[in-house]
Amino acid sequence: MPSEFVEERLRRRGWLRTAHRGAPRYAPDNSAESIRIAAGFPVDLVEIDVHLSRDGRLVLWHDETIRAGGKAHAIGALTLAQLRALPDQGTLATLEEAIELVRGKAGLMVDLKAAGLELPLMDCFERLNFFDVCVCGGYKATLAHLRDRLPQVSVSLTPEPLERIDFARWDAVTVHWRMVGPKFVEQAHRHGTRVLAWTVDEPEVARRLLELGADGVTSNDVDMLCGL
């Protein structure tokens, strides 16, 4: 059952506008500033990438490591304080901070970048009473756990290339825009599954996807996204 937030936005807006990693053309992606700027636009979701630090904090970063001081530092091997102390890595935000930045303005699309995040995610959402969320990624066990234990949020599978998709299991699928075609959309919609396309920075491509029936578009360009 998709979240009430996602369905209400779809009814009101027609399709979901998702800001990829915040507003990376204005500020470093996944940073607090990038998220704050994106939430100032009329977007529906702000997409962020989530890892778990050694001390159990959900931190926002795309890769498994942070390069600083000429070395690659594994996020899971360091505490939040240690990660934030690394030189030249910019502002490292947490999921809690992202929630407060978007609350009342937009929801979050939480992209899983590690396995086994279901319990810390559930704790965070419930503790902060924030369920305007779509959790996406390829970690099926985590997505299934969240679907069963936290139905207030949507779950979206990001499939592997050429993977056979069991559409009925998921509220949505987050797929590269080149995968979106009439047959794909028809198969998904037959099961009530939303099709969310990433990452689209050209307006003509976005318009074509929406004409094909895509339910959402993710973009690095919030100006383009909100001008469609």
Q: Inform me whether the pLDDT recorded for 177 exceeds 90.
A: yes
Residue pLDDT, tens place only, 206-225:
999 999 999 999 999 999 99
* Half-sphere exposure (Cβ direction) of 133: Cα atoms closer than 13 Å: 28
Distance CA 216, CA 197 (A): 6
- What per-residue confidence (pLDDT) applies to 90? 62
Q: What is the pTM of this model?
A: 0.96
68: pLDDT confidence band, cut at 50, 70 and 90?
A: confident
The set of residues, in sequence order, having a beta carbon less than 8 Å from that of 13 and lying 6+ positions away, is: 44
The answer to whether residue 161 scores a pLDDT higher than 80 is yes
Two tokens, residue 172: 């949505």
pLDDT digits (tens, 9 = 90+) for 80-95: 999 999 986 567 899 9
- Rounded to the nearest 5 percent, the helix, strand and coil shares of the chain are 35, 25, 40
* Residue 8 near residue 16, CB atoms below 8 Å: no
d(CA 157, CA 134): 10
| Residue 70 reports pLDDT greater than 90 | no
